Amino acid sequence: MMGTIYATLLQLFLALNSVAGDDKVVSLPGQPQVSFQQYAGYITVDEKQQRALFYYFVEAETEPASKPLVLWLNGGPGCSSVGAGAFCEHGPFKPSGDILVRNDYSWNKEANMLYLESPAGVGFSYSTNKSFYDSLNDELTAQENLVFLERWFKEFPEYKSRDFFITGESYAGHYVPQLAQLIIKSQVKFNLKGIAIGNPLLEFNTDLNSRAEFLWSHGLISDSTYQSFTSVCNFSQIRRQATNGPLTPVCAGVYGKVKREIGKYINTYDVSLDVCLPAVHSQSQVLNQLQDTPKIDVCVEDETDTYLNRKDVQEAFHARLIGVTRWNICSDVVKYNMQNLEIPTVPVLGELVKYGIRVLVYSGDQDSVVPLVGTRMLVDGLAKGLGLNTVVPYRSWFEGRQVAGWTQIYGDILTFATIRGASHEAPFSQPRRSLVLFSGFLSGKPLPEAL
């Protein structure tokens, strides 16, 4: 009996003195009362360079012991998974003025959610060796993220045997498959089941050059500008030139016409959504985009910036500002090797599929930055290259009685889906539909058909 009591007390002592115990978030300022546990803090990934990554972990709202673990990575490269993913998209809370309000469509309804600010230099993550920020690339980022996971699982060992999924959006079209590939090659014992990537950068030329067709088909540019944008100078040329120096006069002329016709008051990440305007304008900050859809706060990114720069919030989060004077949603110190953008990750998706890892690629259909037309073409081409048969033909899927998007499934392992009315950050503008998609991804079931 005494032995059992001693073992229990020892277990409790170790838990209270672990990183997990130190990182437990009692309550965030302005937070409504909740029953699930939250943790936030740092995992050191390189002692020599004094490099540490910041994470925010939210246990599932109900029955966390029976639900999978999901890692979320935002893109950029250099943007915050905590600020964008957790507070603007699918975390349990969203800032509203001085307080936090519950997100009724939080992904922790379906999973234990782990948000990671990666690479070092993003958000609250840091390296005391600032020269590290000048040499960041995909390989380093994947290695850093793997070290993080190995050490995080040591602090939360009860999650290591769970079904594990890696998710993200935008430049996470590199981060997510590359990390999954490294996990497989490293033969670490993670129970990796699948990956999901939204509006992902998969192939530089295809993804960027599909922007012209998208803008033209949505009426944002004229016929003549569309022709110039495809035959005289396309967007991949413009982006490549901008990375290496000034644009040529020809490309500068085409790009100038594109920008003039689109204008300043269109959010290219969601061409159908109004933009956040200063308070002096008459526009309300909260809009209803479509009938029967949740309200969208188009200024939530600004509110998140204000919230995460509060000292009391940083203290509650166990966060520190090291090498920077303020938290930013996208880093202004990280100097990523932009040539990495041209590394195609479609072959990596193919490797994952061959290994038996389920892959979901989804697109918010109002995004002109990485439009669905290029993504759909790349996924279909991948399926044909792998010899995968279509098991669910291209069809609409539903949330309730409304069409929520379109989907196609290849070989029961590779899925493409659109989210109707959604932006580059799909859960921001279509949270309910995105949650249905997320739930279907975790369960491995086809998306709902009409009732």
At the fourth CATH level, the homologous superfamily of domain 17-205+337-443 is Alpha/Beta hydrolase fold, catalytic domain (3.40.50.1820)
Q: Buried b / exposed e across 317-349, counting CB within 10 Å, b at 16+?
A: bbbeeeeeeebbbbbebbebeeebbebbbbebb
Three-state DSSP class for 393?
A: strand
Secondary element (H or E) of residue 205: helix 204-217
Those residues with Cβ within 8 angstroms of residue 14's Cβ, 6 or more apart along the chain or in another chain: none
Angle, nearest 10°, between helix axes 172-186 and 138-155?
60
Q: What is the pLDDT of residue 50?
A: 87
DSSP, residue by residue, 347-365: HHHHHHHHHT-EEEEEEET
* Catalytic residue set: 170, 367, 424
Tell me the whole-structure pTM to 2 decimals: 0.92
User: What 8-state DSSP symbol labels residue 82?
Assistant: I
pLDDT of residue 278: 65
Compute the Cα dihedral for 225, 269, 324, 52 and give only its sign: negative
Tokens of 429: 């503008």
Is the sign of the CA dihedral 114, 119, 122, 125 positive or negative?
positive
Q: Where are the domains of the chain?
A: 17-205+337-443, 221-262
Closest CA to 370 of 241, 206, 257, 256: 206
Go through the chain and tell me how many residues it has.
451
Q: What is the pLDDT of residue 129?
A: 84
The pLDDT value given to residue 280: 33
Contact 120, 52 (CB under 8 A): yes
d(CA 46, CA 42): 12
Burial label, 425 (beta-carbon count in 10 A; 0-12, 13-18, 19+): buried
Beta-strand pair 112-117/51-58: antiparallel
Share above pLDDT 70 across residues of the chain, in percent, rounded to a whole number? 92
- Which segments of the chain have a pLDDT < 50? 1-18, 279-292
pLDDT of residue 244: 86
User: How far, in Å, CA of 2 to CA of 89, rounded?
Assistant: 49
